[in-house]
Amino acid sequence: MLATPLPFRYNPRRLNLASDLTLPGRHPLSFSQRLQEIRTGFQPAFWVANITELFERLAFYAQQAVLVVYLHEVLKFSQQESGDLTGFFGGTVWLLPILGGTLADRFGFRRSLALAYLVLGTGYFLLGSLSASWMAPVRESFPLYWLVFVILFIPALGPAVIKPCVVGITARASSENVRSLGYSIYYTLVNVGSTFGPLTALAFRQRFGIESVFRVCAFTAFAMCLATFLFFKEPRRGEEKKVASVAEAFRNLFAVLINVRFMTFLVIFSGFWVMFWQEFISLPLYVRGYVNPESDIELLLTVDPLVVILLTILVSYLFRKMRAFPAMTLGVLVATFCWVLLAVNDLSWQVNTTLNLGFFSLPVRGFPVVGGIALAVLAIGEIIQSPRYYEYISRLAPSGQQGVYMGFAFLPIGIGYYIAGALGGRLVQHYGEVLHKPRQMWWVLAAVGLLTTVLMIIYNRIVKPVDNSPSTS
């Protein structure tokens, strides 16, 4: 799934693990020497931060797997309202990290992380308790929609600080010779958490009800808060410059905002994320509402991160010689075919079996196989464009402003989530409840992908990027 864009002075060459074995001026290392280098190259803070990030991602994607269903089926919001609220939460999660790093710079990673996990756990607990009897006086005192709106803002604050903290710790707590490996470990753990998150949601929903998913997410966040207090030690500070104030951060943001070429690209690329986030918005509503109300939608949502884990190296190798911008454009086009597949095939092709993971078994009910194939296509599109997207932004950034520009890499993700929420809920409601032709909504999403592809081609021809050279990784 998604990983945080790399801050600071990003260099795509650092992502080449093979070249990391033979840095300029060094002889190739033996396996034992490389193992020793890894053992000594990471400070303990690196492992604590990245392991807690694994569980944070597990909790995030566990609640994401059921959030829109919880809002619609338990809290009885309309499909449109459920989409709006889900989009608000997801968009806020991905936009706030633009400023979240300032807190870490001013107060340190340890205090910032602990506070973020505490806030995150509180938000998940309140969200899962909205239907509880003890919350009845609160529900009766405020309009439910706006109550949920406010409560959703609380857990959105957590990742806003956690994301820049973990990436910053990875940079500071790893030596230069193993830093590329450190980011690879980070990215792998993010996807492991993204895979097991929906499976965790499935296990708890089936056994204890959908509210229990949010409570286990809260417990996970509180546990990570405690782990941060007990085991995390502030990594040794290098020579990087601290952000002096919030005012300075805003000045840096304004300098990027007035870059018309860059901002135009970010707005256009938001179209990819409008498509992508329908995986968590319109697809669960569609499957549960019009395919099989007993479908285990959480299992379907494991397809994307699993494909990312299994195919990233292969796909990156196959497209390694393609220039950055054409690769991004191709990734958007490939992802578009996810929705074309759903538009031309119904999801009646299902399996009912038992999923045995060794440590627990789950009855899998109504798993739509066609949907799994479609999400695999979406994941391949993500793999093609994602690393090249960050490479492209790093090349656009003026010298000395790479960190600020990479922070803005979140913007299309957040904008896309806001729009996806508003669009997805309305599409399901219009084509499903009004027209009774729910499958036609996938053509709208395919049109969004095709329009984004065309706009990117036009942008590339008009703007002529500064540096669009092939990848070196």
Task: Look at 91 and 471; give whichever has higher pLDDT.
Answer: 91
Give tens-digit pLDDT for 334-386. Answer: 999 999 999 998 877 777 777 676 656 767 777 788 899 999 999 999 999 98
Output the DSSP codes for 74-132.
Answer: IS---HHHHHHHHHHHHHHHHHTHHHHHHHHHHH-HHHHHHHHHHHHHHHHHHHHTTTS
Coil, strand or helix: which one is 387? helix
Which two structure tokens, joined as six digits, stand for 373?
């194939």
Q: Is 128 within 8 Å of 213 (Cβ atoms)?
A: yes
Give tens-digit pLDDT for 165-208. Answer: 887 788 788 887 777 778 778 888 888 999 999 999 999 998 99
Name the residue ranges covered by the structural domains of the chain: 12-20+39-463
Beta bridge partners of 364: 353
Close Cβ partners of 240 (under 8 Å, ≥ 6 residues apart) = 8, 172
- Of 75, 82, 67, residue with least CA distance to 123: 67
Residues 409-423: b if buried by 16+ CB within 10 A, e if exposed: bbbbbbbbbbbbbbb
Q: Is 130 within 8 Å of 151 (Cβ atoms)?
A: yes
Torsion, Cα of 175, 181, 187, 189 (10° steps):
-90
**pLDDT tier, 262 (very low <50, low <70, confident <90, very high otherwise):** confident
| Cα separation, 232 vs 126, whole angstroms | 27
| Cα separation, 126 vs 134, whole angstroms | 11
Neighbours of 83 (CB within 10 A): 28
Average pLDDT taken over every residue of the chain: 83
Give tens-digit pLDDT for 213-248. Answer: 999 999 999 999 999 999 998 886 555 555 445 566
Residues 149-179: b if buried by 16+ CB within 10 A, e if exposed: eebbebbbbbbbbbbbbbbbbbbbbbeebbb
Output the DSSP codes for 222-289.
Answer: HHHHHHHHHH--PPPP-SPPPP--HHHHHHHHHHHHT-HHHHHHHHHHHHHHHHHGGGTTHHHHHIII
- Residue ranges of alpha helices (H) inside 397-467 are 402-407, 410-428, 441-463
Q: With residue 361 as reference, give the H or E element that holds it.
A: strand 361-368
Coil, strand or helix: which one is 136? helix
Q: Is 59 within 8 Å of 197 (Cβ atoms)?
A: yes
Output the DSSP codes for 286-330.
Answer: HIIIII-TT--HHHHTTHHHHHHHHHHHHHHHHTTTSBHHHHHHH
466 pLDDT above the threshold of 60: no
256 pLDDT above the threshold of 90: no
Give tens-digit pLDDT for 417-455. Answer: 999 999 999 999 999 999 999 999 999 999 999 999 999
pLDDT at 201: 94
CATH 1.20.1250.20 describes domain 12-20+39-463: yes
